[in-house]
Amino acid sequence: MQKLNQESFADFITEGKKVVEFSADWCVDCKRVAPDMPELAQKFADHMTFAEIDVDEAREVAEEYGVKGIPTFIVFEGGKEVGRLPSRFAKTKEQIDAFLQDYIDGK
């Protein structure tokens, strides 16, 4: 999964449908879902592109989007936030999968 930083974030979300995982190296829940992310990115590759951004290295981005807990997944279309899975609901592969599937299904 592509790693973003403060500088590359804006360019990444500008076009198309993108999913950004806000995380950190020290985050236990982020480490728990990390092994599942390649499979999820592959499953939804026809619909969106995935990337990850470290909240400690890109504090301004995390603050701009009001990310309070991690992991938080935000879906962007054309640079605008269109969906969010906050950390309290992003603890398992199944929760993340259901969120992304609901987004694709238009729920």
Please name the residues in contact with 97: beta carbons below 8 A apart, sequence gap of 6 or more. Answer: 40, 43
CA pair distance 60, 29, nearest whole angstrom: 22
Query: What secondary structure letter does DSSP report for 41?
Result: H
The catalytic residue positions are 27, 30
Pairwise CA distance, residues 11 & 24, whole Å = 21
User: At 77, is the secondary structure helix, strand, or coil?
Assistant: strand
Cis-peptide into 86, omega within 30 deg: no
